[in-house]
Amino acid sequence: AAYVPLRRITFDREAVYIAIGIKPNGHKEVIDYCIAPNENIEVWTELLQSMKSRGLEQAELFLSDGVVGMKTALAKTYPLAHFQRCVVHVMRKICAKVRVEDREA
């Protein structure tokens, strides 16, 4: 989810959940999206179930950041899909543990 400022009752930042699919020809397509006050597994579960109810029968691979419970939610909705953590998020986590002068190496 990406946080953006939204004008509703207040000017708070809210989470915009975006599910993007990649077709066999390599083209990307927004499959579904929703807006919620914050990021949590319940909203991701609802989004996955919504995609399934609208006709997305199977997902081959699911990439995500480290949201706790995502693998469980995915296993309930798309049990045959493979899960992979986003490489960018993995590298950020690793770099946070490395001294600044050693990061370039």
List the domain range (segments joined by +) for residue 67. Answer: 2-102
Query: Quick one: how many helices (H) and strands (E) in the chain?
Result: 3, 5
What is the average pLDDT value for the chain, to the nearest integer? 87
> For residue 34, what are the contacts with CB-CB under 8 A and spacing of at least 6?
16, 17, 43, 46, 47, 50
Whole-number Å distance between alpha carbons of 35 and 94: 30
**Distance (Å, rounded) from C-alpha 59 to C-alpha 29?**
14
Counted domains in the chain:
1
Report pLDDT digits (tens) over 44-93.
899 999 999 999 998 888 888 878 788 888 999 999 999 988 888 788 88
